[in-house]
Amino acid sequence: MKRILCTGDSHTWGEGAAGLAEEFDPPMVAGDLRLTRFCSGGYVNRLRHKINQYTGSYAKEWTAKEISGLPGASLSAPWAEVGEEAVFLLFSGALIRMEFCAQSSPSVVEVSIDGVSSGLMDLQSQVKNDYRLLTFHLEEGEHRLSLRACRGKVFLYRIESYGGSCAVINSGVGSSPSLWYKERFWESHVASVNPDIVLMEAHSINDWLTGISLDNCYRNLMELIEGFRSLGSSVILMTVSPILGEQRLMSMITEYGDYVDMSRRAAMDAKIPLCDANAIMTECIRGLPEGKASSLLFYNGWHVNDRGHALYAELLAQTLLNGGYLDQ
């Protein structure tokens, strides 16, 4: 299976896509660690649909509500509570990813696949609204997942499985500048997937908002690229959309566009393909009054709407197909 990992911030996570906000209860917050569903119009979902159609691959998801209907589980919204009696799930594929809600009190779960235990997983954390991702790589085929609470309360938020020749996986985390993404989410969201291809959104908006220097932005992007390469991944960098409103924050002298340009420089210096979504979207709204530009492309000043997500997906699909990445 070729694992195609989409990394980035809230654009990759899916913010702005129709139907996304409605799927979260409690409502989504900045930097939300809950995985998004496959049904919203975010660009990763659109890209997955295109790639699955092209390659005959498939993906399936189980929400907490669906999991709570299995014997041994119950609903403790927005999670499924896993009991001391094992919860069983049959699934097809070669990769499964599950997300648990971490607890401030002791919480330990045992995960077994096809009767083989992967050991006890500690889910305790003192970080508020913390979630833990577990990813397992398997032989293609039918599998049996077993989950059992061994200590304390165990709450499961979501399960995803992938099968066929390709898996398009969303590892975007909202409100994450490039350095924060590398420091906080590398093991859980990147290394655990062992990606063959990384579609790297450049984090430009959050690097700009946090006010890091352009030199540090460049350094962080290059470290991310080298980190992906160290896993054996091919890397494609995608620029982030234009934004509406002020292009310079009052406390800063650097404009947003300078961070986009720095991501272009990082791709050039690293000699990796550049998917310049920013340039395409800028051309789409060139000369339009801000109100018309907003209705055409934007959900709010910093996030694109469904049309913008569709553009992201189309440009990435073209880059993958034209570059022969899916035929290697």
Give the CATH number, domain containing residue 66.
2.60.120.260
Let me know if residue 327 belongs to a domain: no
Query: Model pTM?
Result: 0.96
Let me know if residue 328 belongs to a domain: no
Kindly state the tokens that stand for 158: 């979501």
Number of folded domains in the chain? Answer: 2
- Which residues, listed in sequence order, are joined to residue 143 by a DSSP beta bridge? 91
Q: Are 135 and 250 members of one domain? A: no
Q: Which domain holds residue 272?
A: 2-57+164-322
Instruction: Report the alpha-carbon distance of residue 26 to residue 134 in Å, rounded.
Output: 23
Q: Is 211 left (phi over 0), alpha (psi -120 to 50) or beta?
A: left
Q: Are 49 and 182 members of one domain? A: yes
Q: Are 157 and 171 members of one domain? A: no
Q: Are 15 and 31 members of one domain? A: yes
Give just the sign of the alpha carbon dihedral 20, 24, 29, 33: negative
Domain ends where: 126, 148, 163?
Answer: 163
Give the CATH number, domain containing residue 278.
3.40.50.1110
Q: Are 192 and 270 members of one domain? A: yes
Domain ends where: 105, 128, 163?
Answer: 163
Per-residue pLDDT of the chain (328 residues; tens, 9 = 90+): 999 999 999 999 999 999 999 999 899 998 999 999 999 999 999 999 999 999 999 999 999 999 999 999 999 999 999 999 999 999 999 999 999 999 999 999 999 999 999 999 999 999 988 999 999 999 999 999 999 999 999 999 999 999 999 999 999 999 999 999 999 999 999 999 999 999 999 999 999 999 999 999 999 999 999 999 999 999 999 999 999 988 877 667 789 999 999 999 999 999 999 999 999 999 999 999 989 999 999 999 999 999 999 999 999 999 999 999 998 6
